């Protein structure tokens, strides 16, 4: 005896549609959060600063988008197996980012990926409780303590305490940094940031830096890669060659930051 399609449990189609809607909402919230957090993370040359930047921007995102923040942290835990699996894959990426700390740890042999897993879980647990018990409370003041908690196993109590004591950035400043990073239109890799900072250090004096000088200051051994990176930054309007006829005249290029590039370089810095 076969079971007809009409024997499907009542409401199952509606439940499936609802689950699809939640999954779509989760992906949209995840995309918007990543657009804000990932550039801030990659803009930093030091692991500790990258962790701090990511945590700050996560808190800013949740405060500005409370329903989406709650979906990512709290409500997604009540999703179906597919959503939970998707959430687990996202957590794997977060764990990978924290696990990079072993490369800079004082005693890396004592640490494993489990330590990174525990740090990510602890941060999410604290945010989970806060969003449920104090949904209207500001989250930005947690940045220092959460960062200190994450870096403690890797950098020790002194570095963790230093993060805890650091002032919380003003929301307007944090939002302005995120806007600048998003408007840049270029992926901020470690090398990109090093080039921007090399040119920023040169400032407005002098004729500008040649390709080789930029490579030396930024620590890029491959001259070809440096040239390609400079060309890409120029296309995005972040740097300019002040010696426009250099190739024709047989002279070296002379690179400087544009106003847009200087603003972006400022946005990548953690100092306030």
Domain end, chosen from 150, 181, 212, is at 181
Query: Does 193 score more than 90 pLDDT?
Result: no
Task: Tell me the per-residue pLDDT of 145-160, one tens digit each, with 9 for 90 and over.
Answer: 999 999 999 999 999 9
Q: Is the pTM of this model over 0.75?
A: no
Same domain? For 132 and 24 the reply is yes
Q: What is the pLDDT of residue 161?
A: 94
| Mean predicted confidence (pLDDT) in 68-85 | 94
Same domain? For 172 and 210 the reply is no
How confident is residue 43, by pLDDT bands cut at 50, 70 and 90? Answer: confident
Q: What is the pLDDT of residue 172?
A: 47
Domain end, chosen from 155, 181, 207, is at 181
Please give, one letter per residue, the 3-state secondary structure of the chain: CCCCHHHCCCCHHHHHHHHHHHHHHHHHHHHHHHHHHHHHHHCCCCHHHHHHHHHHHHHHHHHHCHHHHHHHHCHHHHCCHHHHHHHHHHHHHHHHHHHHHHHHCCCHHHCCHHHHHHHHHHHHHHHHHHHHHCCCCCCHHHHHHHHHHHHHHHHCHHHHHHHHHCCCCCHHHHHHHHHHHHHCCCCCCHHHHHHHHHHHHHCCCCCCECHHHHHHHHCCCCHHHHHHHHHHHHHCCCEEECCCCHHHHCCCCCEEECHHHHHHHHHCCCCC
**21/181: higher pLDDT:** 21
> Domain of 230: which CATH number?
1.10.10.10
Query: Does 21 score more than 90 pLDDT?
Result: no
- Domain-located, residue 223: yes
Query: Does 144 score more than 70 pLDDT?
Result: yes
């Amino acid at each position: 005896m076969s079971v007809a399609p009409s024997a499907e449990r009542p409401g199952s189609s509606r439940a499936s549609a609802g689950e699809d809607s939640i999954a779509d909402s989760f992906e949209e919230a995840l995309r918007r959060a990543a657009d804000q957090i990932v550039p801030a993370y990659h803009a930093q040359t030091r692991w500790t600063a990258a962790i701090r930047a990511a945590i700050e921007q996560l808190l800013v995102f949740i405060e500005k988008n409370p329903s989406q923040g709650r979906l990512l942290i709290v409500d997604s835990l009540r999703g179906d197996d597919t959503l939970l699996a998707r959430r687990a894959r996202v957590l794997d990426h977060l764990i990978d980012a924290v696990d990079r700390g072993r490369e800079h740890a004082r005693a890396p042999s004592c640490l494993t990926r489990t330590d990174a897993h525990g740090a990510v879980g602890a941060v999410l647990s604290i945010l989970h409780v806060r969003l449920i018990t104090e949904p209207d409370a500001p989250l930005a003041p947690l940045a220092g303590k959460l960062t200190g908690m994450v870096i403690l196993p890797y950098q020790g109590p002194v570095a963790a305490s230093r993060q805890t004591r650091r002032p919380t950035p003003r929301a307007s400043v944090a939002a302005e940094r995120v806007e600048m990073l998003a408007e840049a239109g270029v992926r901020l890799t470690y090398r990109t940031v090093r080039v921007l900072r090399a040119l920023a250090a040169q400032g407005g004096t002098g004729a500008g830096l040649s390709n080789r000088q930029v490579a030396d200051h930024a620590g890029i051994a491959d001259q070809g890669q440096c040239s390609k990176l400079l060309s890409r930054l120029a296309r995005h309007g972040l740097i300019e060659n002040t010696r426009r006829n250099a190739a024709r005249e047989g002279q070296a290029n002379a690179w400087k930051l544009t106003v847009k590039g200087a603003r972006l370089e400022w946005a990548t810095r953690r100092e306030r």
